[in-house]
Structure formats: C-alpha cells, structure tokens
C-alpha cells in the first residue's frame, strides 16, 4: 500500500500532487496572497542550525510527552485540517486510525468531513500500536454565529469523549473560493442555521456587513472558558501581547500558528514568533506550534525554542491521499524516527534536554 521509495514527508507531497484533483490540490497547498508566509514557514526552519553533543547515555532515552494528563508517544500531533475526504474516501476516519496506531494525538476540525462522533468511535474501535499510548483526540472549534450553536458543538465533543478544545481564532475572516467536491461537506455543522467560517465566499465589502458584526471577540473566549471543563487551547497566537491576553481570558494552552500561511500574507513564520511568546508564558502552560514542520530536525528546533509539542498540517493529507491509514501512520513514524535520530545526535535523552544551547544560526 505504501509506494516504494518514500523516505521523507516530501516524498508523499510529490506523489500527492499527481494524485489529487487540481482544485483540491490548490486548496490544500496554497497560502493567501502571494504565498510569502507559506514560504517563510519553511525558510525560517532552514535558517536554524543544530549543534550536536557527543557520547550521550541513551539507555533511557524517550520521545514521550505528558500533556493535560495524557501520554503521547511523541511531541507531534495532527493539526486540524478541514475536509479530509477530499484526499481519501475514509477521510478523518483513516487519520484517527493512523494516529491511534502511532499513539499520536489528533485534533479534529469543526469543518471535518466526518462527524465528530464517528471519529471518536473509530478511535475507540482501533487497536493502539504495540507499546503506543492511547491517542489523544481534541476538538478544534470555530465559534458559530449563535452561542447556542457553538455550545452544541462543545457539548457534542464532551459527550463523545474529546479531551480538549482548541479554539481557532485566526481565521474568522478568510476568503475561500474552493467548491467542495460532491459528497464532501462540513457534516458537523448540519442543523446549524447559518454556519460561520465554512467556505463562505466573502464579498468585496467586509466592514459593516453581518459577518463583521459576529466575528468572535475576547469576551467570547471568557464565555467559552466558563462553559466547559475541558482544557482550552487558543490557536493562532502570534503576538506576545495576545499571548498575555489569551492567558488572562482563561486559555490553558497556546498554539503559535499563522494557519499555514492561509490567512494574512506577510506574517512571519510561526517558529520565528515562538521564543518571544515562550518568554511570556514561561512554565505556566503548554505552547504548541505549527507551520512548515516537515522533518524531525524541525521538531527539535521548535522544542529548543520553547514549544511543548508541534502540529503537522498538510503532510497528513499528502500521506492520506497516497496511502490512506498506512500512509498517515508511516508519515508519523518517519517523523518520529527522524526526531529520535536528531535527539540522539544532539545528546538529548528526553524532550526536556532539548534546550536553546543546541541551536546555532546557519549562515
Ligand atoms: C488548515 N488549517 C486549519 N486550522 C484550523 O484550526 N481549522 C481548520 O479547519 C483548518 N483547516 C485547514 C485546511 C487546510 C487544507 C490546511 C492546509 C490547513 C490550519 C492547520 O491546522 C495548520 O495550522 C497548518 O496547516 C500548519 O501548517 P503546515 O503544517 O500545513 O505547514
């Protein structure tokens, strides 16, 4: 099922480009504007160098991470990526099965093409891989126009056993011109009268329109905090002052992200915004980061700069398109095995050993 010759995530990307319909491929890959931020997400990682330490004692080495009371096989989770059935008929069901096999967490999008209940059931039915911890399953929330509709989604996620809520705050206003292929839809939003943040086509005018009246504000974060006991992460934090505000408004974790370059072109790489945010947050809460993670060495760089874990976006869909469950599991395995190798060569036996002194600028 896994084609021969795949040695890195980039190989899945190359093969997926030929397999996916052009419109779906463009939707998956493209950033907004001129693609400056998409490019930055990669350039920034490539500028960071690594300084090895020799002769480490690797006898008890591990990539394990405990996060919100749950064990993760590695500090790598699958980012919320909408509409995964554009890549594979099983969509998110295949992705959660792969995550379960690997003991990696998955964040299901509000815009998933499979219901959140079916995804949770697929996790429960899947056999964890040998020695893998039970995979975490978190729900990514887009606030809906009505608070009752938002709460319905949160209550459904709670009832289905999701272990955290990720509130994405950076994409309330986003231009999408992608017409979903037949049979693919945001099934979790069925029954919601006016679903917000789907593929709503934004007209030329934003200010003064109903959309501008209903985009989420800080007070909505405080409200949500009061409505659920699940850990609440805020995804899309880039400015240190917003990190401070998110903490004040009740966040339990932050995700430093520019939404894979899909929202505001000209944003710096997420990895370049991480250290300043980590300096503010300190040890208070986990900080996750995404955007351009493609190698185990990228994971190490992110952790050295203060991340607790990273999220993988587009590559999960590339692997899904090429080889379904096996592909996603293989992609996670490759990334983790690259991470182990990098840690060994850097002389890091636990994630806590991955400190800033392992980094050095590349000229
Ligand atoms: C996304 N992303 C995203 N984020 C989110 O919070 N909810 C969502 O529904 C989606 N949907 C989505 C669709 C597609 C096609 C892409 C590519 C991305 C953003 C995603 O979670 C993550 O932040 C980025 O994808 C990370 O960057 P990389 O790994 O793709 O470079």
55-88 burial, b at 16+ Cβ within 10 Å, e below that, comes to ebeeeeeebebebbebebbbbbbbbbbbbbbbbb
Nearest CA to ligand 1 atom 13: 81
Assess whether 88 carries a catalytic annotation: no
pLDDT tens, residue by residue, 215-226 = 999 999 999 999
Contact 175, 202 (CB under 8 A): yes
Q: Which two tokens stand for residue 165?
A: 């809520």
pLDDT in the model for residue 207: 87
Residues in the chain, overall count: 363
Pairing of strands 65-67, 70-72: antiparallel
DSSP structure class, residue 356? G
The Cα–Cα gap between 311 and 106 comes to 9
CB-count exposure of residue 34 (10 Å: 0-12, 13-18, 19+): exposed
Q: What was the ipTM of the complex prediction?
A: 1.00
The Cα–Cα gap between 262 and 164 comes to 24
Q: Is the confidence at residue 199, as pLDDT, over 60?
A: no
Could you tell me the pLDDT band of residue 204, with boundaries at 50, 70 and 90? Answer: confident
- For the chain, where are the alpha helices, taking DSSP H only? 9-19, 22-29, 36-46, 92-102, 116-125, 147-159, 210-214, 218-227, 240-248, 270-281, 296-304, 314-346
pLDDT tens, residue by residue, 126-170 = 988 888 999 999 999 999 999 999 999 999 999 999 999 999 999
Contacts with 330 (C-beta within 8 Å, 6 or more apart), sequence order: 2, 6, 319, 323
114-140 burial, b at 16+ Cβ within 10 Å, e below that, comes to bbbebbbebbeebeebeebbbbbbbbb
Give which of 310, 362, 308, 360 is closest to 335, Cα–Cα: 310
Contact 12, 19 (CB under 8 A): no
pLDDT tens, residue by residue, 58-101 = 999 999 999 999 999 999 999 999 999 999 999 999 999 999 99
What ligand 1 atom has the least distance to the C-alpha of 291?
27
The Cα–Cα gap between 297 and 119 comes to 30
Annotated binding site: 27, 80-82, 109, 140, 142, 168, 235, 257, 259, 262, 290-294, 313-314
Q: Which two tokens stand for residue 27?
A: 């939707």
pLDDT in the model for residue 296: 98
Average pLDDT over residues 171-194: 87
Q: Is the confidence at residue 198, as pLDDT, over 70?
A: no
pLDDT in the model for residue 178: 87
Quote the distance between the C-alpha of residue 157 and its chain's center: 18
Q: Is the confidence at residue 193, as pLDDT, over 90?
A: no
Q: Is the confidence at residue 200, as pLDDT, over 90?
A: no
Could you tell me the pLDDT band of residue 177, with boundaries at 50, 70 and 90? Answer: confident
- For residue 312, report the phi and psi dihedrals to the nearest 5 degrees: -110, 120
- Tell me the pLDDT of the chain averaged across its residues: 95
Pairing of strands 253-256, 165-168: unpaired
Identify the active-site residue in 72, 88, 197, 259: 259
Give which of 279, 299, 302, 229 is closest to 63, Cα–Cα: 299
pLDDT in the model for residue 211: 80
Residues with CB under 6 A from ligand 1: 28, 41, 79-82, 109, 111, 140, 168, 235, 257, 259-260, 262, 290-293, 312-314
How far, in Å, is the centroid of ligand 1 from the Cα of 37? 13
Pairing of strands 70-72, 165-168: unpaired
pLDDT in the model for residue 201: 56
- For residue 256, report the phi and psi dihedrals to the nearest 5 degrees: -80, 120
For the ranges 91-105, 192-206, 306-320, the lowest mean pLDDT is seen at 192-206
First-to-last alpha carbon distance for the chain, in angstroms, is: 41
Nearest CA to ligand 1 atom 24: 260
- Substitution site in 30, 46, 76, 81 for ligand 1 pocket (most atoms within 8 Å of beta carbon): 81
pTM beyond cutoff 0.95:
yes
Q: Is the confidence at residue 56, as pLDDT, over 60?
A: yes
Could you tell me the pLDDT band of residue 174, with boundaries at 50, 70 and 90? Answer: confident
């Amino acid at each position: 099922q896994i084609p021969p010759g795949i040695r890195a995530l980039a190989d899945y990307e190359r093969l997926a480009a030929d397999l996916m319909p052009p419109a779906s491929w463009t939707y998956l890959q493209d950033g907004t504007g001129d693609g400056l931020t998409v490019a930055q997400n990669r350039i920034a990682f490539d500028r960071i160098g690594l300084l090895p330490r020799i002769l480490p004692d690797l006898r008890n080495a591990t990539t394990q991470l405990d996060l919100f009371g749950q064990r993760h096989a590695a500090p790598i989770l699958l980012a919320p990526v909408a509409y995964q059935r554009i890549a594979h008929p099983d969509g998110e069901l295949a992705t959660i099965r792969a995550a379960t096999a690997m003991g990696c967490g998955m964040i299901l999008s509000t815009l998933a093409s499979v219901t959140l209940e079916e995804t949770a059931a697929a996790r429960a039915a899947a056999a964890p891989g040998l020695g893998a911890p039970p995979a975490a399953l978190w729900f990514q929330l887009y606030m809906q126009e009505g608070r009752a509709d938002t709460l319905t989604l949160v209550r459904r996620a709670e009832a289905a056993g999701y272990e955290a809520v990720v509130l994405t705050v950076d994409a309330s206003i986003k231009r999408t011109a992608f017409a979903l292929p037949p049979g693919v839809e945001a099934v979790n939003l069925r029954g919601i009268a006016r679903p917000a943040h789907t593929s709503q086509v934004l007209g030329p005018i934003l200010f003064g329109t109903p959309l501008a009246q209903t985009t989420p504000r800080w007070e909505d974060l405080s409200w949500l905090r009061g409505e659920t006991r699940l850990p609440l992460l805020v995804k899309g934090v880039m400015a240190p002052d917003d990190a401070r505000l998110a903490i004040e408004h009740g966040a339990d974790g932050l995700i430093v992200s520019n939404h894979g370059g899909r929202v505001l072109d000209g944003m710096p790489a997420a990895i370049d915004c991480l250290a300043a945010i980590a300096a503010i947050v300190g040890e208070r809460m986990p900080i996750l980061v995404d955007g351009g993670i493609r190698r185990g060495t990228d994971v190490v760089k992110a952790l050295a700069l203060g991340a607790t874990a990273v999220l993988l976006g587009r590559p999960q869909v590339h692997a899904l398109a090429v080889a379904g469950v096996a592909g996603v599991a293989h992609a996670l395995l490759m990334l983790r095995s690259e991470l182990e190798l990098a840690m060994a060569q850097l002389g890091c036996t636990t994630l806590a050993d991955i400190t800033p002194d392992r980094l050095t600028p590349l000229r």
